[in-house]
Amino acid sequence: MLINYLKLSLKVLARRKFFTFISLFGISLTLVVLMLGATVLDNLFSPRAPESRFDRVLCVYSIAAEGKDAMRTGEPGYKFLDRYVRGLPGAVEMSSFSQFHPTAMYREGKKIETLLKHTDGSYWRILNFDFLEGGPFTSADDARGSLVAVISAGLRARLFGGGPAVGKSFEVDGQRFRVVGVVADVPILRFAAFSEIWVPIGTLKTSDYRRQFFGDFNGIVLARSRSDFPAMRAEFARRMQTVTFDNPKMFHTIHAGLDTPFETMARLMFSRDSSRAAMLRGILLLGALLFITLPTLNLVTVNLSRILERSSEIGVRKAFGASSRTLVGQFVVENVVLTLIGGLVGFVLTVACVAALNGSGVIPHVRYDVNVRIFLYAMLLAGAFGIVSGVVPAWRMSRLHPVNALRGGAL
């Protein structure tokens, strides 16, 4: 029976080309937008090189201190991370690193604008960079304050014309660094990994950073597995109850958390709200549902018109004993087939859009891809789209009296 429905669906869709085109256009356009959005979010939050281990990483990117008459929110300082984040149970590695900041250097009289980040040795054991030359600097280099650096392939091309860079030197911020490694360019969306120059924290010109509760540092912790997250978070929360402030008269409470990258984004959007991640997921889901509502209503209208055209066929089939259940099943299957075809067309268009976006260079070094997971979700959504938009017209059609149907009566 189902095979017959499928064959009939394809014949009906081919016969009514105008309605088919209108429906496919709406379905495909809707799914293209949703899949592009899902692709961007997947690229932003899913583990990808150099952050390929971030399914096991928790982050501390912001803290907030609260007092009776004052409140301060910002990035944690090195002192906070070293004292309260290091040594959590279940942690394999913990790293502190600065935010990247713009700087400039001169090469043969030419100004080169670039970005610089200070990191420790653990940083290179948590992130999985693709080294094109050499290797990372070590914890010992950081402790000694060795003037060594890792640079990106793009900066290598600007500094040294794309030739070998390891062993060569350059000057930036009044210091001369020796290149020990070159890595593939990193997309800016990879916040923890992104920069063009990475140098040891120990090369900072002053040690004041070691005494700063607030600063421009971030912390990441690599766990043995995600099952260690609850224990790590519980211990971190306990430590937050024991925080001692440099100015206790001004501040008495600290708000901070060990977050996944997605939870970090939610924390930045909703501050200290305990349900921030759920709120962000809810907003994204609600936005997707609202976006798909209008196409669904339009498809319902198109389906009603398509069924009305076939009122004589419906009347004949009912006159020969076809049950309402059979007719409803047939029309729902037709609609699901239509939406699945629209899903396939939408997927092909999405792949083409992603290829164009990658080639445009709008976001440097970003490589979007539509993976199998996104494709399966899109087809599942298309199937649900087809069922929802087909049920109402099919139900109204099933209640049509055979005599009225044969006369071409309204639904």
Q: How confident is the model at residue 218 (pLDDT cuts 50, 70, 90)?
A: very high
The predicted pLDDT at position 320 comes to 61
- Where are the alpha helices (H) located in 46-72, listed in sequence order? none
Nearest to 300 by CA among 327, 261, 331: 331
Does residue 75 register a pLDDT over 90?
Answer: yes
* Angle at CA of residue 67, ends 231 and 95, nearest 5°: 40
Strand ranges in 56-109 using DSSP code E only, listed in sequence order: 57-60, 63-66, 71-76, 91-98, 101-107
Q: Alpha-carbon distance 62 to 75, whole Å?
A: 4
Does residue 1 register a pLDDT over 60?
Answer: no
Nearest to 153 by CA among 198, 179, 185, 199: 185
Read off the pLDDT of each residue in 159-168 and give the average, rounded to a whole number.
Answer: 90
For residue 118, list its beta bridge partners.
199
Q: How confident is the model at residue 138 (pLDDT cuts 50, 70, 90)?
A: very high
Output 69 or 13, whichever has higher pLDDT. Answer: 69
Does residue 309 register a pLDDT over 70?
Answer: no
Q: How confident is the model at residue 24 (pLDDT cuts 50, 70, 90)?
A: confident
* Exposure on the CB side of residue 172, measured as CA atoms within 13 A: 30
* Angle at CA of residue 351, ends 349 and 352, nearest 5°: 65
The residue assigned the tokens 């496919």 is: 24
Q: Are 87 and 94 in contact (CB under 8 A)?
A: yes
Read off the pLDDT of each residue in 194-218 and give the average, rounded to a whole number.
Answer: 94
The predicted pLDDT at position 358 comes to 80
Question: Phi/psi of residue 199, each to 5°?
Answer: -130, 160
The predicted pLDDT at position 288 comes to 76
Instruction: Encode pLDDT of 234-243 as tens digits.
Output: 999 999 999 9
Output 177 or 326, whichever has higher pLDDT. Answer: 177
Amino acid at 308: L
Residue 387: exposure state from Cβ atoms within 10 A (0-12, 13-18, ≥19):
middle
Read off the pLDDT of each residue in 90-104 and give the average, rounded to a whole number.
Answer: 95
Query: For residue 395, how far is the Cα from the chain centroid?
Result: 39
Instruction: Encode pLDDT of 327-362 as tens digits.
Output: 667 777 777 777 788 788 888 888 888 888 887 777
Out of 20-24, 31-35, 74-78, 187-191, the most confident range is: 74-78
The residue assigned the tokens 């060795």 is: 146
Does residue 37 register a pLDDT over 80?
Answer: yes
Q: Is 176 helix (H, G, I), strand (E, B) or coil?
A: strand
* Angle at CA of residue 374, ends 371 and 377, nearest 5°: 150
Average pLDDT value over all residues in the chain:
83
Output 337 or 191, whichever has higher pLDDT. Answer: 191
The predicted pLDDT at position 333 comes to 76
The predicted pLDDT at position 198 comes to 98
Output 367 or 226, whichever has higher pLDDT. Answer: 226
The residue assigned the tokens 């609202």 is: 290
Q: Are 98 and 217 in contact (CB under 8 A)?
A: yes
Q: How confident is the model at residue 411 (pLDDT cuts 50, 70, 90)?
A: very low
Output 48 or 285, whichever has higher pLDDT. Answer: 48
* Token pair of 90 as six digits: 């279940």
Residues 6+ apart with CB under 8 A from 281: none
Provide the sign of the torsion angle of the four alpha carbons 71, 77, 79, 85, taken in this order.
positive
Provide the sign of the torsion angle of the four alpha carbons 121, 123, 126, 128, taken in this order.
negative
Q: Alpha-carbon distance 271 to 85, whole Å?
A: 20
Instruction: Encode pLDDT of 266-308 as tens digits.
Output: 877 776 555 577 777 778 778 877 777 777 777 777 666 666 6
Residues 6+ apart with CB under 8 A from 83: none
Out of 96-105, 368-377, 400-409, the most confident range is: 96-105
Residues 6+ apart with CB under 8 A from 407: 315
- Biggest CA pair distance of the chain: 93
The predicted pLDDT at position 164 comes to 93
* Token pair of 83 as six digits: 């004292």
State yes or no: cis peptide before 50, omega within 30 of 0: yes
